Amino acid sequence: MDLRFSQSEQEFRHGLRSWLAETIPTLPPRPHRDDWPARRAYDTGWQRGMFDAGYAGVDWPAAHGGLGATPTEQLVFLEETAAARAPYVGANFVGLLHAGPTLVVEGTDAQRARYLPRILRGDDVWCQGFSEPDAGSDLASLRTTAVREGDHYVVNGRKVWTSMAQVADYCELLVRTDPDAPKHRGISWLILPMSTPGVQVRPLRTAGGSSEFSELTLDDVRVPVENLVGAENDGWRVAMVTFSFERGTAFIGEVIDSRNILAEIASIARSTPAPRGGTLWDDAALRRDVGRLTADVHGLWALIRKNVSEAAAGMIPVQGASVFKLRFTESRQKIGDLAAHVLGRSALAMSDLPGLAGGRNGHLVEDRVTTLAYTIAAGTSQIQKNILAERSLGLPKEPRWTSR
Ligand SMILES: Cc1cc2nc3c(=O)[nH]c(=O)nc-3n(C[C@H](O)[C@H](O)[C@H](O)COP(=O)(O)OP(=O)(O)OC[C@H]3O[C@@H](n4cnc5c(N)ncnc54)[C@H](O)[C@@H]3O)c2cc1C
């Protein structure tokens, strides 16, 4: 393991840091959380800026338009963008972090040429149509069907929790192409243009008050056969490729963000009067909680660096994505609880309340509500534990329950 940064990695860091310092002050104000067209424009505008500056697709291979950065440079990229409080990947999440990388590995030359440059430039937004009302953790039970008719598939079914579907141009869609095959074997991975007739998007409201997800209804939707990624009925394997990207990188940038939030919690506690005199920061239990969670976050960052160092040396990290996701998402929720404790009554409002906690409550409350979903999205904590038990620790597989 080698945790030092090389000369070229240091140069990469300094170049990026200066570009961020110049660029971030020139960005327009962030749009309201529920104004999705404005959010799309803001997120794709940021992506375009990164493209023009040569920072788009930092982890994508150079042959496919990315930066071809080493794992350590990718880490430096996440560290610097989070420290500079650069915009989050946002609406570009699915395209950049998993649909694009899946096409790099599994797509045809024609698919790569058509879709990848547009994702990198921020021209197209993608969403993920995997989950269904009766197929979440047990994704292989999905029922949306695709029946081949000439050079099209005719798709019928329902998808749910499709993040950002209301502003997406394309959807990575899992469908059942062979209803008679064992459930993992009859699935295919399709590119669905969201403007196709028969696609209906119904936004669902979250606890955060935003319509981040939608339900998709697919009614005789005709998808060209050329939009099949991988072979027909081999979609489960392609979906595992997608998951390897989704679970591997999704939360890493947020570790740095957590450090910023903990520092903010400490700063609010230092300036908030305690009921019996002094400030909230005089409470040793609170300081201990901040200290413990800060140590957690530093430990997780060290784990990421260890994994990156092992991956760069050609090894498969033992404490991989599932360990990280499990621990990070739980720590992140504890940070939210601590923020609520410090905010007191202002933890009840998602808009800034002048006077209480210095008017800094809004984004902390929004953040807390958002983190409630972290232990569910991209595979629940229980599923991560199953993966670890069965694949890393070699414990027996969980029993298959049959209903009577
Ligand atoms: C913020 C967020 C964004 C999302 N975005 C998308 C998206 O863009 N596209 C998409 O397709 N999906 C998306 N999802 C859906 C997500 O993938 C599912 O919510 C998740 O896989 C869990 O499925 P479920 O909600 O159906 O819960 P269920 O699978 O019904 O699980 C219910 C409970 O049972 C537990 N459980 C289930 N099976 C087992 C088992 N075998 N052993 C032990 N416990 C078990 C689970 O851990 C959970 O606690 C998103 C979810 C969230 C929260």
Mutate to test the pocket of ligand 1, among 139, 159, 161 (most ligand atoms within 8 A of CB): 161
CB contact at 8 A, 9 and 76: yes
Cβ of 128 less than 6 Å from ligand 1: yes
Please give the single-letter amino acid code of residue 88. Y
Give the residue, 127 or 306, on which the prediction is more confident. 127
Are residues 150 and 198 located together in one domain of the fold?
yes
pLDDT in tens, 142-198: 999 999 999 999 999 999 999 999 999 999 999 999 999 999 999 999 999 999 999
237 belongs to a structural domain: no
What is d(CA 216, CA 225) in angstroms, rounded to the nearest whole number?
21
Long-range contacts of 19-28 (CB under 8 A, 24+ apart): 19/53, 19/55, 20/80, 20/81, 20/84, 20/86, 21/84, 23/49, 23/53, 24/84, 24/85, 24/86, 27/87
Cβ of 389 less than 6 Å from ligand 1: no
376 C-alpha to ligand 1 centroid (Å): 5
Q: Retrieve residue 304's tokens.
A: 């990421």
Nearest CA to ligand 1 atom 44: 382
Task: Find the domain containing 365 and state its range.
Answer: 247-392
Cβ of 386 less than 6 Å from ligand 1: yes
Are residues 147 and 251 located together in one domain of the fold?
no
What is d(CA 398, CA 391) in angstroms, rounded to the nearest whole number?
12
Are residues 212 and 76 located together in one domain of the fold?
no
114 belongs to a structural domain: no
pLDDT at 403 over 50: no
Q: Retrieve residue 49's tokens.
A: 């800026």
What is d(CA 196, CA 213) in angstroms, rounded to the nearest whole number?
19
- Last-in-domain residue among 88, 112, 141: 88
- Last-in-domain residue among 35, 60, 88: 88
Are residues 269 and 383 located together in one domain of the fold?
yes
- Last-in-domain residue among 88, 103, 118: 88
pLDDT in tens, 312-363: 676 666 567 788 889 999 999 999 999 999 999 899 888 888 776 667 888 8
What is d(CA 302, CA 308) in angstroms, rounded to the nearest whole number?
10
Q: Where are the alpha helices (DSSP H) in 24-122?
A: 36-52, 71-83, 93, 100-106, 109-120
Cβ of 369 less than 6 Å from ligand 1: no
Are residues 39 and 167 located together in one domain of the fold?
no
Query: Considering the chain, what is the average pLDDT of its residues?
Result: 91
pLDDT in tens, 24-57: 999 999 998 889 999 999 999 999 999 999 999 9
Are residues 203 and 75 located together in one domain of the fold?
no
Are residues 254 and 217 located together in one domain of the fold?
no
Q: Count other C-beta atoms under 10 Å from residue 52's C-beta.
A: 11
168 burial (CB, 10 Å; 0-12 / 13-18 / 19+) is buried
- Determine phi and psi for 184, rounding to 5 degrees: -80, -15
Nearest CA to ligand 1 atom 45: 382
Q: Residue 1's pLDDT band (boundaries 50, 70, 90)? A: low
Instruction: Count how many Cα atoms sit within 13 Å of the Cα of residue 180 in the half-sphere of its side chain.
Output: 1
Mutate to test the pocket of ligand 1, among 218, 376, 386 (most ligand atoms within 8 A of CB): 376
Q: Retrieve residue 182's tokens.
A: 């064992």
146 belongs to a structural domain: yes
134 C-alpha to ligand 1 centroid (Å): 10
**How far separated are the first and last CA of the chain, in Å rounded?**
52
Domain CATH code at residue 345: 1.20.140.10
Mutate to test the pocket of ligand 1, among 126, 128, 131 (most ligand atoms within 8 A of CB): 131
**Which range is least confidently modeled, 242-256, 288-302, 315-329?**
242-256
Nearest CA to ligand 1 atom 2: 377
Q: What is the predicted pLDDT for the residue at 247? A: 61
Please give the model's pTM, rounded to 2 decimal places: 0.91
Q: Residue 232's pLDDT band (boundaries 50, 70, 90)? A: very high
pLDDT at 93 over 70: yes
Q: Count other C-beta atoms under 10 Å from residue 279's C-beta.
A: 13
Give the residue, 241 or 221, on which the prediction is more confident. 221
Ligand 1 atom showing the smallest separation from residue 131 Cα: 11
Are residues 224 and 275 located together in one domain of the fold?
no
Q: What residues are annotated to the active site? A: 246
Number of domains in the chain: 3
Are residues 81 and 165 located together in one domain of the fold?
no
Domain CATH code at residue 157: 2.40.110.10
Q: What is the predicted pLDDT for the residue at 316? A: 61
Are residues 280 and 364 located together in one domain of the fold?
yes
